[in-house]
């Protein structure tokens, strides 16, 4: 009888040991995994950035200062990455939010800056008249962002207002933004002002005016199919890698970006006569440039000449 009892005790002990092992090696890790997944899903729901434009607009209209900053940044990023998601039904709400950011009671400079950028990335030229008013802002940052936004929209009617920023007394960044935007807009009536900007160097330039200003003006003229000896010299210099050795602040990625930008413009030009002055530099780039993308792009531009 004692042997039977001992066997029963042993079986219970063994069962308890097996259960303990099962609990330790399977159930506990499983519970940890399940709770981990639940925690992750909860965290993801709480922190997920909304991609619905209407949700973002509601946050811009009624959210806290922090919510507005996050939502405006998010919306600007969405429109920048994919302008096709913009819908004209958003227009009035964006304008209302922009006006709200300028009001005395609800003034919010960050929101104002972001709504200027949102309008520029929307591809909706209806915002042009709103952005032109920002060119008179007392804040230079607002003026610069408005100039850039008008350039992105290619708002033709803003050309006369933007060209005023090419004058000597304006800041380097204002002039730089103006030159770039005028090139994007493509109004050939501003060619004399861009040529004058290049010709004023160096006697009538501010000490703060960097070489990028001449480069941007030359690229703007190139986009408008304008060419003269000074413009050709600037472009040919920019197509020469050794030229950048004088500008130690420019890293290799920046140099590659500038060269690719020029090649992209040259490739878009249909008139082969305008491309001839750059034939030699394009040949060198196509044969020996260390960057494969630049070599291939230079070859494409050469085919347009040949």
For residue range 153-172, what is the model confidence (pLDDT) as tens digits? Answer: 999 999 999 999 999 889 99
Residues 109 and 119 in one domain: yes
Secondary structure (3-state) at 253: helix
Whose CA is closest to 122, among 165, 92, 166?
A: 92
259's tokens: 């060269």
What confidence score (pLDDT) does residue 13 get? 57
Inform me whether the pLDDT recorded for 179 exceeds 80: yes
CA 219 to chain centre: 19
Tens of pLDDT along 195-248? 999 998 878 787 788 899 999 999 999 999 999 999 999 999 999 999 999 998
Residue 66 lies in a domain: yes
Q: Give a yes or no: residue 178 inside a domain.
A: no
- Closest-CA residue to 239 (of 273, 265, 204): 265
Angle, vertex CA 24, rays to CA 19 and CA 25, nearest 5: 100
CB 172 within 8 A of CB 209: yes
102: CATH: 1.25.10
pLDDT tens by residue, 8-27: 445 555 555 555 554 555 55
The answer to whether the predicted template modeling score (pTM) of the entire model surpasses 0.85 is no
In this predicted structure, what is the pLDDT of residue 9?
A: 44
Confidence of residue 38 (pLDDT cuts 50, 70, 90): low
Domain boundary among 88, 123, 158: 123
pLDDT above 50 (res 50): no
Is the residue at 25 inside a domain? yes
Q: DSSP letters along 166-201, please?
A: GSTTS-HHHHHHHHHHHHHH--GGGHHHHHHHHHTT
Give CA angle at 26 (21, 31), nearest 5°: 130
Local confidence band at 65 (pLDDT 50, 70, 90 cut-offs): confident
118 in the same domain as 67: yes
Find, among 95, 176, 99, 179, the residue nearest to 140 by Cα: 176
In a domain, 274, yes or no: no
Q: Are residues 90 and 117 in the same domain?
A: yes
* Local confidence band at 89 (pLDDT 50, 70, 90 cut-offs): very high
Same domain as 43, residue 54:
no
Residues 36 and 78 in one domain: no
Of residues 78 and 202, the one with the higher pLDDT is 78
Q: Are residues 19 and 38 in the same domain?
A: yes
> Does residue 262 contact residue 227 with C-beta atoms inside 8 Å?
no
Q: How many domains are contained in the chain?
A: 2
Would you say residue 273 lies in a domain? no
Residue 202: is the preceding peptide bond cis (ω within 30°)? yes
57 in Cβ contact with 89 (< 8 Å): no
**Does 63 lie in the same domain as 102?**
yes
Are residues 119 and 69 both part of a single domain?
Answer: yes
99 located within any domain: yes
Output DSSP code: residue 286: H
Domain membership of residue 37 as a residue range:
13-47
In a domain, 20, yes or no: yes
- The answer to whether residues 102 and 62 belong to one domain is yes
């Amino acid at each position: 009888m004692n042997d039977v009892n001992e066997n029963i005790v042993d079986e219970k002990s063994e069962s308890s040991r097996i259960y303990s092992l099962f609990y330790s090696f399977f159930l506990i890790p499983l519970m940890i995994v399940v709770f981990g997944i639940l925690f992750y899903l909860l965290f993801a729901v709480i922190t997920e950035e909304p991609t619905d434009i209407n949700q973002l607009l509601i946050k811009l209209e009624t959210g806290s200062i922090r919510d507005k900053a996050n939502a405006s940044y998010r919306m600007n990023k969405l429109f920048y990455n994919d302008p096709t998601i913009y819908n004209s039904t958003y227009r009035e709400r964006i304008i209302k939010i922009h006006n709200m950011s300028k009001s005395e009671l609800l003034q919010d400079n960050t929101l104002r800056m972001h709504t200027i950028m949102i309008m520029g990335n929307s591809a909706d030229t209806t915002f042009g008249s709103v952005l032109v008013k920002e060119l008179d802002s007392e804040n230079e940052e607002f003026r610069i962002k408005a100039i850039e936004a008008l350039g992105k929209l290619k708002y033709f009617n803003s050309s006369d207002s933007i060209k005023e920023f090419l004058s000597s007394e304006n800041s380097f960044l204002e002039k730089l933004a103006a030159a770039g935007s005028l090139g994007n807009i493509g109004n050939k009536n501003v060619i004399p002002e861009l040529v004058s900007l290049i010709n004023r160097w160096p006697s009538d330039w501010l000490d703060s005016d960097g070489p990028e200003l001449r480069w941007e003006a030359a690229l703007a003229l190139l986009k408008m199919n304008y060419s003269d000896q000074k413009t050709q010299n600037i472009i040919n210099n920019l197509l020469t890698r050794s030229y950048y050795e004088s500008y130690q602040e420019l890293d290799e990625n920046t140099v590659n970006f500038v060269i690719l930008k020029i090649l992209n413009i040259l490739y878009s030009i249909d008139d082969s006569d305008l491309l001839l002055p750059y034939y030699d530099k394009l040949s060198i780039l196509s044969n020996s440039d260390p960057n494969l993308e630049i070599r291939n792009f230079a070859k494409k531009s050469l085919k347009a000449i040949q």
